[in-house]
């Protein structure tokens, strides 16, 4: 019945014994350190040749010095504690104790050895050596303990890149207590850097010797920190990592981390976007800030892929208010939750509504008086819009017309419409409607509002784009479906596209179409095979490729400009501009009236004919042409059974809400 109390007593005794043992060890170590410091001070004072009288003074004063210093250390709490946790406060205590002891010793020793001429300089030298030796010993033990504990469970890590990104990564890895990675080597293709050390880690070679470096240093993880790696460079690094069976991650380029600060936290797995070989986007941040800071900004389609990234990047420039308009309630809710978490200081408004609702548009513009509008709302999926051509025309053309006209009526300073390369020589309803949107923008020029459009290609990772489709197919075990073995597309990452849109918005006088430099077109088959390899699988072995044929409205390749369009360079190397020419607004209003009537009447043939009249270079798909031959009796029957919507384009100066009849 006394066993528990006996066990507790034994445990308590063991604890007291451990504490006593630790204190005894500290006392012994302190005696040794202060003795060494005192002896070294004599050696330094007499230039390492002690005369007899100096040796006698040292022996007679030794115990006094030890006793005074131990008493000083005890009074400042330096006899207890853990050296492994020593910090600046401990160093300050050591300094105070050393100076206190030296002050006492100066009185005692100079009094005791008054007739023998005790050297005063020894007291000063001893004080400095005591601080250096005692403090250095503690910090050395702490550094050793941390190194042993930190590296015990960490993986030997190779950093690719000895530039600022690589240096920041090495520094963060060495300072991180739980990073899991121990940087042991760096490689860089700049030969002049080979042999130098960065934060204590040596540059041991170039990426050409990657495999041998991995084997020689027993590397378990490779971290790529290159400022603008090329497609081939990334692929070569990946192949070396795969053949060496090590894991690898990449640090996004500056263009994809404009708001990033913590380098270590930005590391991620390599994805297909990294294989585009994009150089970082350089921005005139000051010009964008002057345009957006403390201004009211409205974004349509704000919950979509492009719109939401626009909202994030605009928020980083601290507008006075951000109006987020989208008709998807669920997506708006997710965006609002993200903003509440990431941008709590931003005054934002989530407006759920449709760009066809002119009454809502007028209310938003009248209430918030936006200075700038980014119009990203649109139907964009080519095959789906071929099957829903009326809705494509109503949403894309009439919606853009409504937003642009309300923006002009409320004297918005800047209106930026997001366009697409599919508007060039269009073969789809989606493409031709976006081209008409460009013509609307060109027709609305005036001094109060600056209208411009920004045209770019496919955006990797956007909703419904090829990348998430491929990822889902690979996750399901395949096959990966590709429309054609030779189909190519221009690609941009979402952050890259949005950054260039913001940059283009600071340029021009109005009436221009800005074209983003999309680099070289990418073959979709190559994109699919690279993505399969990034997933740790082999194309045609683990995951098969299936070719389904081009869908209605799709082209084998895309173009960024018409043959007759003369693009000119701008101040930004990745943005070109073309003058869209003069478009009569009365002509645009007639087009909108006619398209509205044809869409309301469900007249496919008339709609296609009118689209070709407006955009002569438009070539309708065979599927849409077939719809034009629908039996007229069947059309009349549909008109009797369906609810028809009359989409009324707005009129100046009194816009009216779209109404149903």
Q: Closest Cα partner for 65 from 35, 96, 86?
A: 35
Highest mean pLDDT among 89-93, 392-396, 534-538: 392-396
Dihedral (C-alpha) 461, 465, 470, 473: value to the nearest 10 degrees?
110
Instruction: Write down which residue in 149, 165, 196 finishes a domain.
Output: 149
| C-alpha dist (Å) from residue 426 to 118, 431, 558, 581 | 99, 5, 9, 19
Residues 129 and 235 in one domain: no
| pLDDT at position 561 over 60 | yes
477 located within any domain: no
Is 484 contained in some domain? Answer: no
Structure tokens at 302: 């704000």
- Assign residue 159 the CATH number of its domain: 3.40.50.720
On whether both 220 and 307 belong to a single domain, the answer is no
Peptide bond connecting 645 to the previous residue in cis, omega within 30 degrees of 0? no
Cis amide linkage into residue 653, ω under 30° from 0:
yes
**Pairing between strand 512-516 and 480-482?**
unpaired
CA 599/CA 647 separation, integer angstroms = 8
Kindly state whether residues 74 and 211 are assigned to the same domain: no
Please indicate, yes or no, whether residues 266 and 357 belong to a single structural domain of this protein.
Answer: no
In a domain, 655, yes or no: no
In a domain, 648, yes or no: no
User: Does a structural domain hold residue 415?
Assistant: yes
Residue 358 to residue 354: CA distance in whole angstroms? 8
Give the tens place of pLDDT for each residue, 128-178: 998 898 888 887 877 776 565 555 557 888 999 888 888 888 888 876 656
Domain range enclosing 454:
285-458+491-518+559-641
Q: Which residue has the tokens 């009365």?
A: 586
Matching residue, tokens 């964009």: 380
The two beta strands, 197-198 and 201-205, are: antiparallel
For the CA atoms of the chain, what is the radius of gyration?
37
Question: In terms of domains, do 580 and 637 share one?
Answer: yes
* Residue 195 Rama label (left phi>0; alpha psi -120 to 50; beta): left
Among 40-54, 252-266, 464-478, the minimum mean pLDDT is found in 252-266
Structure tokens at 260: 């990033």
CB-based burial label for 284 (10 Å; 0-12, 13-18, 19+): middle
* pLDDT value of residue 627: 67
Exposure b/e, 307-326, CB count within 10 A at least 16 = b: bbbbbbbbbbbbbebbbbbb
Task: Say whether both 66 and 179 belong to one domain.
Answer: no
Q: Count H helices, E strands: the chain?
A: 22, 21
Among candidate residues 99, 116, 149, the one where a domain is terminated: 149
On whether residue 529 sits in a domain, the answer given is no
Helices (H), 476-567: 494-504, 524-534
Catalytic residue among 220, 291, 422, 574: 422
CA distance 39 to 575: 73
> Does 651 reside within a domain?
no
CA torsion 368→372→377→381, rounded to 10°? -170
Per residue in 576-626, pLDDT (tens digit) is 888 777 788 899 999 999 999 999 888 888 899 999 999 999 988 877 766
Mean pLDDT value of segment 109-127: 82
* Same domain assignment for residues 138 and 158: no
Residues 100 and 118 in one domain: yes
Boundary (domain end) residue, out of 123, 149, 175 = 149
Residue 391 placed within a domain:
yes
Counting the structural domains of the chain, the total is 3
Q: How many residues does the chain have?
A: 661
Asked if 193 is an active-site residue, the reply is no
């Amino acid at each position: 019945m006394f066993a528990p109390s006996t066990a507790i007593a034994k445990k308590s005794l063991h604890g007291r014994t451990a504490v006593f043992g630790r204190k005894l060890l500290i006392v012994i170590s302190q005696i040794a350190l202060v003795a060494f410091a005192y002896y070294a001070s004599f050696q330094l004072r007499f230039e390492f040749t002690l005369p007899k009288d100096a040796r006698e003074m040292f022996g007679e004063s030794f115990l006094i010095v030890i006793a005074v210093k131990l008493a000083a250390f005890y009074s400042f709490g330096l006899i207890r504690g853990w050296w492994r946790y020593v910090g600046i406060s401990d160093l300050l205590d050591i300094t105070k104790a050393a100076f206190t002891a030296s002050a006492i010793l100066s009185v005692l020793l100079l009094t005791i050895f008054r007739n023998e001429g005790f050297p005063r300089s020894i007291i000063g030298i001893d004080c400095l050596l005591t601080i250096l030796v005692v403090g250095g010993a503690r910090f050395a033990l702490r550094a050793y303990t941390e190194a042993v504990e930190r590296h015990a469970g960490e993986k030997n890590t190779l950093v690719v890149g000895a530039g600022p990104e690589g240096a920041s990564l090495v520094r963060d890895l060495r300072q991180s207590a739980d990073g899991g990675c121990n940087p042991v080597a760096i490689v860089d293709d700049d030969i002049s850097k080979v042999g130098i050390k960065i934060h204590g880690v040596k540059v041991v070679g170039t990426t050409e010797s990657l495999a041998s470096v991995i084997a020689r240093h027993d590397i378990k993880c490779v971290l790529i920190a290159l400022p603008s790696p090329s497609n081939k460079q990334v692929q070569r690094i990946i192949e070396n990592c795969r053949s060496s069976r090590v894991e690898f991650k990449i640090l996004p380029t500056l263009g994809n981390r404009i708001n990033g600060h913590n380098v270590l936290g930005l590391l991620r797995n390599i994805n297909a976007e990294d294989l585009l070989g994009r150089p970082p986007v350089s921005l005139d941040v000051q010009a964008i800030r002057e345009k957006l800071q403390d201004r009211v900004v409205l974004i349509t389609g704000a919950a979509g892929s492009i719109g939401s990234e626009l909202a994030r990047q605009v928020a980083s420039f601290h507008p006075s208010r951000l109006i987020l308009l989208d008709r998807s309630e669920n997506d708006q809710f997710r965006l609002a939750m993200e903003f509440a978490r990431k941008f709590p200081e931003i005054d934002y408004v989530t407006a759920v509504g449709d760009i066809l609702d002119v009454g809502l548009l007028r209310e938003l513009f009248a209430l918030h008086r936006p200075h700038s509008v980014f119009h990203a709302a649109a139907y964009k999926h080519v095959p789906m819009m071929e099957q829903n051509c009326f809705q494509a025309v109503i949403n894309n053309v009439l919606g853009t017309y409504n937003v642009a006209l309300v923006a002009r009526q409320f004297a918005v300073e800047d209106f930026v419409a997001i366009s697409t390369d599919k508007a060039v020589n269009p073969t789809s309803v989606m493409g031709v409607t976006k081209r008409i949107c460009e013509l609307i923008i060109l027709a609305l020029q005036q001094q109060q509002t600056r209208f411009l459009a920004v045209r770019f290609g496919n955006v990797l990772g956007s909703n419904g784009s090829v990348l998430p489709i491929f990822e889902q197919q690979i996750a399901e075990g395949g096959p990966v479906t590709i429309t054609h073995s030779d189909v190519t597309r221009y690609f941009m990452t979402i952050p890259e596209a949005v950054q260039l849109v913001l940059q283009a918005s600071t340029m021009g006088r109005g009436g221009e179409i800005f074209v983003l430099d999309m680099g070289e077109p990418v073959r979709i088959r190559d994109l699919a095979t690279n993505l399969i390899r990034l997933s740790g699988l082999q194309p045609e072995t683990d995951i098969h490729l299936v070719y389904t044929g081009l869908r209605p409205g799709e082209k084998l390749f895309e173009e960024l400009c018409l043959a007759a369009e003369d693009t000119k360079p701008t101040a930004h190397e990745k943005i070109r501009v073309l003058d869209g020419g003069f478009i009569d607004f009365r002509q645009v209003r007639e087009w909108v009236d006619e398209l509205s009537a044809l869409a309301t009447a469900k007249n496919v043939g008339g709609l296609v004919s009118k689209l070709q009249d407006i955009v002569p270079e438009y070539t309708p798909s065979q599927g849409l042409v077939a719809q034009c031959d629908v039996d007229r009796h069947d059309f009349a029957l549909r008109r009797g059974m369906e609810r028809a919507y009359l989409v009324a384009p707005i009129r100046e100066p009194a816009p009216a809400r779209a109404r149903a009849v």
